Amino acid sequence: MYDGQQGTLVPDQPHSTVIVCAAGSGVSYGLIHRLRITWGSKVHIVALDINPAHLVSASVLADEFIQVAPSTDIRFQKQLSSVLYRHTNSHIYPVVNSDFYALAELRRSGTFKECDFVCPDDRYLSLATDKLFLDRTMQSIGIPTPETFTAEDIERKYVPECLFIKPRNGFGSLGARGITRNAILAMRENELQNFIVQEVCSGPEVTIDAFVDAKLGHCVVTCRERIEIKSGVCTKARLFANTELEDLARRIGFALEIRGSFCFQVMRAKDKWVVTDLNLRPGAGTALSCAIGADFFSAMHACRCGERGIDLIDLSLIEHGDCFVTRQYVEYVTSLPR
C-alpha cells in the first residue's frame, strides 16, 4: 500500500484489528486517518456509524463499514457483538459519551475476554458523562477546577452576578454559555439539575493533548491555544510546551490509570490554570498536534498493542518554540452512480 503523506511503501504485514465507533465524528476520522498513515494495510479497520457509508468520509479509509444503531440503543451491543465474534483480539475505541457505557457493559459480560475495550475502569466511567462527577474527581486528586456553585449558593446570593453554565452530560460545547444569576433562578429545578454552574474563567482557552502509559510511566503532551473554534472544535491553534500543564496531565493520567491518549481543557481563574473539561479520548482537534509530528492517535493504538506509544510522538518542533497550525476541510467522494 502506498502511503501518500509519507511517500513510502508500507509492507502488507498484519498488525492489528481496530473497531472505531461513531466513525462520522471528527475524532474517529482523525484516528482512522492516522492509523492508516502509520500502519497502512497492516491494520484492519472496521468503522461503525449510525449513518450509511456514503454519508461518512472515514468509510473511504476503512476496510469495513457497518451501519449500526446509536450506542444508547440495546441493538448496538448486539450489532457490535456480531462484529467481535468475527474479529477476536480487536481493539474497540469509543467516541461519544454513550459509547463508553456500551463498551463497558460488554467488557463486564466477559464474553469477549480477548478484546481490548479502550475505555476507563468502571470507577471512572462517569467522567465521560457527568461533568459534576468530573469536577469532584479532579478536586479529589488535587487538580484545580473552576469554583462550582450549588442551587442553594445561587438562591442565597453566594455567587457572582455573571456565571457559566454547561450540561452535566454534554459535548462539543453544546449548551455551554454565560448566564446571569437571575436567569438561573428563573429555571425550573428539574431543568437546573441537568447543568453544572461555575465561575466565569478568563482566557486563553487551552487544550492539552496528552499521552499517558501509566504501566510504563510515560507521559508526553502538547498544549494548544484555541485561536479559532468552529462547532466546538479548534480550527486554528498555537502549539507550545508548558511544564505546569504537562504536570497536570501527568497527575490526571496516572491517577486515572490511563493507558492511551486523552485531552482536557484549561482556562485561568484566580491567577491559576483550572481544568474546565476532560475527554477520556483524543479530541477532534488532536489532529492539529499530529500535524507537527505529535501523533497521539497512533501512540494510543501502539500502547494498546503492547508497544511503546511514546516513540510515535515527536516534540522536537515545539521544543524550539511556538508552532501555529490551521485546518481546512478535505473532500471525499463516497459514492458514485453505477
* φ, ψ for residue 153, nearest 5 deg: -55, -45
**Is 217 buried (19+), middle (13-18) or exposed (0-12) by CB count in 10 A?**
exposed
Q: To 5 degrees, how large is the angle CA 91–CA 95–CA 98?
A: 110
- What fold does the segment set 148-198 form as a domain? Dna Ligase; domain 1 (3.30.1490)
Q: What is the pTM of this model?
A: 0.91
DSSP code of 273? E
| Domain boundaries of the chain, sorted by first residue | 2-119, 138-142+202-326, 148-198
CATH of domain 138-142+202-326: 3.30.470.20
Above 50 in pLDDT, residue 17? yes
User: Each residue of 124-160: pLDDT tens digit?
Assistant: 999 988 999 999 999 999 999 999 998 888 888 778 8
Sort strands 195-198 and 162-167 into parallel, antiparallel or unpaired: antiparallel
Longest dimension (CA), the chain: 67
What would be the CATH architecture of the domain defined by 2-119?
A: 3-Layer(aba) Sandwich (3.40)
Above 50 in pLDDT, residue 63? yes
Query: 58-79: string of b/e by CB count within 10 Å (b at 16+)?
Result: bbebbebbbbbeebeeeebbeb
Cα dihedral 5/92/168/288 (nearest 10):
-10
- 2-119 matches 138-142+202-326 in fold: no
Span of 64-78, 125-139, 168-182, 301-315 with lowest mean pLDDT = 168-182
Residue type, 254: F
Q: To 5 degrees, how large is the angle CA 318–CA 35–CA 31?
A: 75
**Helical axes 74-86 vs 97-109, angle rounded to 10°:** 60
What is the C-alpha separation between 172 and 184, in angstroms, rounded? 22
Q: To 5 degrees, how large is the angle CA 294–CA 287–CA 324?
A: 75
Whether 265 contacts 276, CB under 8 Å = yes
User: Each residue of 260-289: pLDDT tens digit?
Assistant: 999 999 999 999 999 999 999 999 999 999
Nearest-CA neighbor of 150 among 177, 184, 174? 184
Whether 323 contacts 240, CB under 8 Å = yes
